Amino acid sequence: MSEAKSHELFQEPAPSGSPGPTTAQDSDSPSDAGEAPATAKAGNEKPSDIVHALEIEHGIKEKALIRKIDYKLLPALGLLYLLSFLDRSNAILASVSEIVTLTVGSFHTDSRTAGNEYLTGLTMYFIGYVIFEIPANIVLKRTSPQFWLPTLCVAWGIVATLLGIVHNLAGFLSARFFLGVAEAGYFPAVVYILSMYYKRDERQYRISLFFSAASLAGAFGGILAYGIGRMRGVVWENSWRWIFILEGIATVVIGVAAYFFVQNYPDTAKFFTEPERKFVYARLAADSDATHAEPFTWAAVLSALKDPKCWLYGFGFHTMSLPLYTFSLFLPTIIRDLGYSSWRAQLLTVPVYAFSFATTLTVAIYSERLKQRAIFIAGSSFFAIIGYIMLLANTDPTGRPGLSYAGTFFAAGGIYPATALVLSWPAINVSGQTKRAIGNAMQITIGNCGAILGTQLYRANDGPRFIVGHSFALGYLAANILVCATLRFILKRENTRREQIAKEVKEIGELTDWPGDSDPRWRFQY
């Protein structure tokens, strides 16, 4: 859609000083390929008045339109994220199943030293992820979601496939690094895209629903690993290579298809009628700063870097990323101690991940309904702590594997919902388009540093109790509760202070002088 047509569709004659259409430089607006024009007001008409008029004139039902957006966005984006989690986790599935311990010359199955080198391969993934996250988002803003997200998917699918034919440690480490590079831009891009369609109060549940694909990937991956494990002797003596190759090829195929089913920003999304398109922007203008014309400034970048709340959002995810990404390192080992073969042990990972999927959705629904964030995050972390206490208290995991297995349900049932809520927090609370973009990037970057540490904690000679790894995870979860309590205290105190200064503003899109979340009229959600 051309810029002129966008202007005609969304911007009626506006009074002097009212916001114009967004530009490609806006950090909360789409790129040149699909700019999101502002919904202007005719005369003194408020955005909410435009919404009401469209409801009457065109019979648009807001709830029905939101469901339509959900059906068009979430399944497609969730499918690609499921593939992302499968492809980053397939090294773990292979390692437990046969395993891919490494020496310089080839893969072997019995070297503990090589097993620690394998953990270094997992670490390399997160190094690539952290380094290339911000550059990947810059490319998103210069292209479009319909191009960039499928391109990322095809890229990480190719790298995942190549992991199946590596023959030495250098190849394994390089492939894992580039897998992290390819996947780095996906999650933050999706969070940004969802913010272009949904109001503040609607984002948390959608982000949680999207993130729940990670737990589905854990369940689905276990089933796939069991089936692929029966391919021993097909081309290769060991069947673990087929985990990488088959899942990688499937990712490439779906990634190519994604060019046709991933949606662009609302101004060019083909599933909207023109009244619906205008309705979406009127909703956003009535709720947030998403339709403001805000050029990129370094002052806004510094505002995020100097804001203690942005750092706390980052530490909130940091304290969850370590238990999140290390959980899959020890789960199949615990199940294998139940007496099942390594491939059959993969099937028993499915109930654990299915339970975490259910808790993620349940916690997200009640958190959204009660408008409480910190309490549900801290409560979920405490639930996970119970699981790690059970794991640490079991002095004989080989002799009593059932106790450890029960502990994994508590751990997963708390880790996944807490992580989903933490990741949605800055998308709700940080205002000012550039500041929100930087705040989201800070959160993911700071958070995944915890994963870099975590992948080195579950070393081969620490099993089967993994006291060091479990202790770190428990400590991180306790720290998460502290971070959430601190954030809740700060946000609640700031809201109380602002209530004494100014009345809360509802029609943010109507304000031409909106400075962001530093404005006393802005209220934080905690």
Residue 344 sits in the same domain as residue 476: yes
Domain-located, residue 44: no
Domain-located, residue 17: no
Domain C-terminal end among 287, 317, 347: 287
Q: Are 128 and 184 in contact (CB under 8 A)?
A: yes
The count of structural domains within the chain is: 2
Helix (H, G, I), strand (E, B) or coil at 471: helix
The pLDDT value given to residue 112:
44
Match 């114009």 to its residue by tokens. Answer: 20
Residue 308 sits in the same domain as residue 246: no
Residue 103 to residue 109: CA distance in whole angstroms: 10
Residue 395 sits in the same domain as residue 273: no
Residue 331 sits in the same domain as residue 431: yes
Residue 425 sits in the same domain as residue 488: yes
The pLDDT value given to residue 105:
35
Domain-located, residue 383: yes
The pLDDT value given to residue 505:
62
Residue 368 sits in the same domain as residue 283: no
Residue 283 sits in the same domain as residue 337: no
Helix (H, G, I), strand (E, B) or coil at 108: strand
Domain-located, residue 25: no
Domain C-terminal end among 250, 267, 287: 287
What is the pLDDT tens value at each position of the chain, 526 positions in all?
Answer: 433 333 333 333 333 333 333 333 333 443 333 344 444 444 456 656 666 666 666 678 888 999 999 999 999 999 999 999 888 877 665 554 444 443 333 444 433 435 567 788 888 999 999 988 878 877 887 788 999 999 999 999 999 999 888 888 888 889 999 999 999 989 988 988 888 889 888 889 999 999 988 888 777 777 776 676 666 656 566 667 788 888 899 999 999 999 999 998 888 888 998 888 888 888 887 666 555 556 667 787 888 888 999 999 999 999 999 999 899 777 877 777 777 666 666 778 889 999 999 999 999 999 989 989 999 999 999 999 999 999 999 998 888 888 999 999 999 999 999 999 999 998 888 877 678 778 887 898 899 999 999 988 888 778 788 999 999 999 999 999 999 999 999 999 998 988 887 766 655 655 555 667 777 777 888 8
The pLDDT value given to residue 295:
67
Residue 283 sits in the same domain as residue 203: yes
Residue 334 sits in the same domain as residue 267: no
Q: Which CATH number goes with the domain that contains 100?
A: 1.20.1250.20
Quickly list DSSP for 157-212. Answer: HHHHHHGGG--SHHHHHHHHHHHHHHHTTHHHHHHHHHHTTS-HHHHHHHHHHHHT
Domain-located, residue 201: yes
Residue 148 sits in the same domain as residue 264: yes
Domain-located, residue 30: no
Helix (H, G, I), strand (E, B) or coil at 276: helix
Domain-located, residue 268: yes
The pLDDT value given to residue 238:
64
Domain-located, residue 466: yes
Domain C-terminal end among 232, 263, 287: 287
The pLDDT value given to residue 27:
35
Give the range of the structural domain holding residue 125, as residue numbers without chain letter: 49-287
* Residues 94-124 as b or e (16 or more Cβ within 10 Å = b): bbbbbbbbbeeeebeeebeebbbbbbebbbb
Q: Copy the structure tokens of residue 335.
A: 């199940």
Residue 76 sits in the same domain as residue 194: yes
The pLDDT value given to residue 256:
97
Residue 114 sits in the same domain as residue 251: yes
Q: Copy the structure tokens of residue 154.
A: 């095809």
